[in-house]
Structure 1
Amino acid sequence: MSRVLVGVKRVIDYAVKIRVKPDKSGVVTDGVKHSMNPFDEIAVEEAVRMKEKKIASEVIAVSCGPAQAQETLRTALAMGADRAIHVEVAGKDYDTLQPLHVAKILAKLSKDEKADIVIVGKQAIDDDSNQTAQMTAALLDWPQGTFASKVEKSDAGLTVTREIDGGLEVIKTKLPAVISADLRLNEPRYATLPNIMKAKKKPLKKVTAKDLGVDIAPRIKVLSVEDPPVRQAGSIVPDVDTLVAKLKEGGHI
């Protein structure tokens, strides 16, 4: 049976209105509600379902980030993951942590933990990069099934239904493999109180990127973070002819 590694990221909660810092160096995170990246919740749910279907023997949740990332890992444990690994990255190192760094960490842990499947959310709702799964697969030289809306066990490995621009694409992949979860893959379960209590006793190991031999030196420098421009107010036109005339002029309606 397979061992599944699931990547989870702590992000600003989707319901929070994002505010840019006055110095434009980033967004305000202090005192702001955080939660597990919604696509990663779907990834955890899929991994737990694999265990319930006896496709997987163990689910290991991984998160890179400051001390608070442990809360996100405890949520994954309460949802049904067996154990967790916290890769400690804090301060300026975390501010410049990129998908390539995370992919290198996941690739190394996959080898160390002898994982057969890596599942991550297709993207995080803070940076929207949509790169980690693809880079992890490339570093491991494993096949990948990205934007998965359905994952089924097949003889040689997995059959993955992918959401693409033109509709759906079905691929077959051998194991080991990397999967990225799309919105329609499943409906994540809520962690029940008994499972939240049990999660406190499940093992959570702490390591650093240095322990894993991964260099997380920044490859980018953020020059400025700014609010998007305010949309101009629209106007009501009396008829279609006026609308067409306005559009021809290139004016705003």
Structure 2
Amino acid sequence: MSVTPLETLLAHKVINLAAELSGAEKRVAGALIDHFNRRTGQCDPSLNTLADLIGMSRRTVMRAVARLERLSLFRRVRHGGKFHRNSYEPIWSSFREAEDRWNARRKFRKQKFASLDVSPSTGQTRHPEGDGHGHQTYSRNPPYKTLAAKRPEGSAARAAPARGLTTELPRKEFKASNSRVTTMSSSNVARIAAERRWSDNLRCELSTKVAVYGAIVDFIDEPLRSAATEAELNCRGAGLRLVLQRYRDSPVKMGDRGE
């Protein structure tokens, strides 16, 4: 099977993003991909050539090559190249699987925040500096009675006696000026927090099983998302248990997806 330029580009991407590779191992892997001839399949740079090009010792290159073999990224054929040098064969299926795992992580992160109506920020963790006044949060306190309004200079139509540092706006005027302001009920805030909690628990639970994690993300639909959020609202941890149980009971078992 011929190798396309896209596959070599994908291999460089996977090498750069691989958290399990050291800096030296990434450089050796990138040099091997660069020496690969897509037309003939030849890839047989000598250890001395790699060491000179990368700027490291021959022994370091040997250790890096052995590590890349253990991770199933390359296959080494002893004396399989020219001048009795070792030949190296990239295992393209391993690079494609690593690319799929990366795309699954990106897809889950995108879906995680797709349904949120508020910022994912956790909010204030302490009082403001200087112990000053914070934002009003009590919904039954009519803000039109306490809102401070800056009157335009030279405006006679809205002239009114000054009352200290604040003035009162009429109810109708306040509603008109704040027609675009929206508020969120406490129940919606609680649901958002519950959904964020069980999705975080799912990611932590399967942090070492990226393939299974991606499969479960694809399995979760809107009804299951809502059911897991309701379960999490009733009992902490119940959302994660519901998602895993539904997935185990589905026609495609977790064992069929590589767990």
> Which is richer in strand?
1
Q: Which of the five TM-score ranges fits, normalised by the shorter chain?
A: under 0.3
**Whose helix fraction is larger, Structure 1's or Structure 2's?**
2
Please identify the structure whose Cα radius of gyration is greater.
2
What TM-score comes out, normalization by structure 1 length?
0.22
Compute the TM-score of the two structures, normalised by the length of structure 2.
0.22
The structure, 1 or 2, with the larger RCO (C-alpha pairs under 8 Å, 6+ apart) is 1
